[in-house]
Amino acid sequence: MKLPNSMVFVLFAALGLLVQLQTAHAVMTWSGSLDPVDPTSWDSSTIATIGTTANGSLMVDGEDNLRSQTASLGYASGVTGDVTIVGSGATWTNDAGLNVGVYGNGTLFVEAGASVDSGFGSLGNKSGSTGNVTVDGDNSTWTNTGYLHVGDLGNGTLTISEGGSVSNGSGWIGVWFGTNGQVTVSGSESSWTNIGELDIGLYGSGTLVIEEGAVVLVTQETYVAPLPTSTGTIAFGPGGGTLDTKSLCASPTQFTGTGTVNTRGLVSDVDLTFDSSASLAQTLWFENELDHQVAVNLDMTYSGDLGDLGAGYRSSGSLTLCDGVAVLSSDGCLGFMAGSTGTATVLGPGSTWTSTGDFDVGYYGGGRLAIVDGGTVNSNLSNIGYGSASVGAVVVAGTGSTWNSIDQIYVGRDGEGTLTIVNGGTVSAPSLLINDQSCLAIEVSGNSRLLLNGGSLDNDGTVRILAGPQAKPGATFSPISAGEWIGPGICQALGGTWNEVDREFTASSVIHASSSMQLVFSLTSIQRVLVDDIDTGWAVGASFLMPDEPTTLDFTATAVTGEALIDLNDRLDLGSVVRGCWEFAVAAGYDPGDPSYLSFAIDVGLYSPDDLQVWHHDGSEWTRYDALDFNYDGTYASFTVSNLGSSYAVTITLIPGDTNGDRYVDEIDAHAMAAHWGQTAGWIDGDFDGDGIVGPRDAAILAANWNRAITAGQIIDGKTDAATVPEPCLLFTLLTCTSILLARRSR
């Protein structure tokens, strides 16, 4: 997805004589400063000004026709130029363009069935100018074959009312920095048609008002304030109206009033899901309690003129495709604007996102894409970290998970990009380029592959080949199939050795140890350890960088307990628990900044990657750790760190009613609740509402989710999509069972 096209400003200026006269010819009247002085003599070669050096006015009434090549209203600073075209059959044709307010003030009225035609239109053309156009009445029209700027370098307003209509190529409201533009379309028969894109607040401030049933049509994308410094609003006034657009790129906060948007594409700050229960055609509501309720009718069923799709426009949004749903879009975009965050998950066999245009993960903001458990993405030209300061990350994880790009993939275009292929995932493209701040990481277990089909791997950054705990010791892997390898970048092996000639990776053997055990070994010979802790049941693997010369590593991994663990628990949200917390110490043999690949053992198959969070302790406090290559294979949650001499933890978000984290609410959870009934307790003891006591409200939450397996996507603010109040009979049965359990426990 790209920002709006660059603008070309055209101004034809003419020198003429100062005329202060009043003349009449048929139904055409004029006065003041015009150049040429007699508009009846104008033709397709005329470069005309109304309000040249002093105020000037012109009226075309009845069935008279005015012709010029280019016209400028209010040419000089402080000067006003007014034109009125009124009545059925009255016309004004400008073969090149029409500037309303050049350095001064311009006003154009098109009324009562009159028509104006021009190549382009500019309202408020130069700094300090103002331009105002009103198109009013049935069959009154202004037609631009090219662009229309409302508030160009100056300020502009356009009013379309009572059945009037305006059409143009691309439309821009509030074009340059410091400018203000407003377009108001009012009345059920009034319309504004943009044969191209519409930008509401490009670099400046723009407002589009739609009221009394009016219609605005945009054949391409509608952008509302696409830059952090611009402002834009779509305001539905009294009576509302409709915006029909190919794609809507806007945040819900940029709307006011009540109205309707029909679109075939959406990039916004909402959570959007396509699955077995949410079809490709669905209605989203942009609303708040105060002043607006906008129905956005999104229809992704089109297979021809596709709209764009993405998440994270100005703030944050997410996109989820699952249950075998296939979605087609033109461009794909995650993290559109600087400061925004967009995430997308394509989950499960048959779930497919196909983008026929540009595909940007981290356009100018932050973007994350996870293709997991057999999901598929098909794309064209693909960028991970497109703009400067953008950050993009793609994880392709699991057997059958595939990313197919028919054009090259940039891992870091002008920004920072990370591409991670793990657990049998596959990425294919004709070529792949890695810039100097980006990384390609491939974990070899499960036959993860990058297939470039004879194309080149151009590496200016880092290629990292990894072996986690599940790679068979001594096994060899060829994870990258490419023709020519070029570029000055580096290739790192973690957890094994890399043969640059044969392009083969050999997994290291593994040292097994217990928590707090000091390990001193040759890092040249062994690059993997697996440490467990009997007391907590935790285990963690560490894969180290193969050194360039003989090195002895002195390493210790210790399960974190005591005050440090309490401090971490105090920072967690309700329903989150620690599944592994380790302190790592390196006394010798590893340089600060060298990467290590950590793998935290997590109960087999219980969670999805979205349920897991990574934390880091820098010696003073715990903070969330942004692991760009984070992945979970059903057994280990793994990620790369560059500061090994500190503490890391992995936590999970449980579902209401689930005390033991098996993602199922059943008798085990009821037993835990019964054992702590009426006591001061935590989540794992049955306190699901966070009041510190296990009681009837907790039983109601458990009953509401009884015998249900719930995914993380169903959790909202600590509650589930299901009603939090169960059927009375179910609650009664559960409480009865609880009483029986308590009675047995007291014997």
**Straight-line distance from the first to the last Cα atom of the chain, in angstroms, rounded to the nearest whole number:** 69
**DSSP classification of residue 288:** -
Greatest Cα-to-Cα distance within the chain, rounded to the nearest angstrom: 112
Length of the chain: 747
Stated as kind and residue range, the H or E segment containing 669 is: helix 667-675
Residues whose CB falls within 8 Å of the CB of residue 746, separated by 6 or more in sequence, listed in order: none
Q: What pLDDT shows up at residue 13? A: 27
Distances (CA, A) of 732 to 671, 690, 725, 728, 729: 16, 22, 12, 6, 5
703 pLDDT tier (thresholds 50, 70, 90): confident
Per-residue pLDDT tens for 111-161?
999 999 999 999 999 999 999 999 999 999 999 999 999 999 999 999 999
Task: Check: CB of residue 146 under 8 Å from CB of residue 116.
Answer: no
734 pLDDT tier (thresholds 50, 70, 90): low
Count the alpha carbons within 13 Å of 443 in the hemisphere toward its beta carbon.
33
Of 183, 290, 181, the residue nearest 230 (C-alpha): 181
Judged against a pLDDT cut of 90, whether residue 726 lies above it is answered with no
Q: Taking each helix axis from N to C terminus, what angle separates 667-675 and 696-704, rounded to the nearest 10 degrees? A: 180
Judged against a pLDDT cut of 50, whether residue 103 lies above it is answered with yes
Q: What pLDDT shows up at residue 137? A: 96
Of 434, 494, 476, 485, the residue nearest 456 (C-alpha): 485
Distances (CA, A) of 570 to 388, 559, 566, 579: 37, 18, 6, 15
Taking 3-state DSSP, the helix, strand and coil percentages for the chain, each rounded to the nearest 5, stand at 10, 45, 45
Q: What pLDDT shows up at residue 277? A: 86
* Residue in the structure block whose two tokens are 């497919």: 352
Per-residue pLDDT tens for 596-646?
999 999 876 666 777 899 999 988 999 999 998 999 988 999 999 998 889
* Higher pLDDT among residues 711 and 571, named by residue: 571
* Residue in the structure block whose two tokens are 């834009």: 232
pTM of the model: 0.85
Tell me if the bond preceding 473 is cis, omega within 30° of 0: no
Judged against a pLDDT cut of 70, whether residue 219 lies above it is answered with yes
Please, is 373 exposed, middle or buried when counting C-beta atoms within 10 Å of its C-beta (0-12, 13-18, 19+)? buried
CA quadruple 560, 615, 554, 536: dihedral sign: positive
Phi, psi of 448 (to 5 degrees): -65, 140
Report the alpha-carbon angle 252-371-464, nearest 5.
120
Q: Provide mean pLDDT across the span 563-592.
A: 90
Q: What pLDDT shows up at residue 17? A: 24
Residues whose CB falls within 8 Å of the CB of residue 742, separated by 6 or more in sequence, listed in order: 674, 677
Q: Provide mean pLDDT across the span 488-497.
A: 96
Alpha-carbon distance 101 to 50, whole Å? 10
Structure tokens at 167: 């059409």
592 pLDDT tier (thresholds 50, 70, 90): confident
Judged against a pLDDT cut of 80, whether residue 567 lies above it is answered with yes
Q: What pLDDT shows up at residue 81? A: 96
Residues whose CB falls within 8 Å of the CB of residue 15, separated by 6 or more in sequence, listed in order: 35
Task: Check: CB of residue 285 under 8 Å from CB of residue 258.
Answer: no
Query: Percent of the chain beyond pLDDT 70?
Result: 90
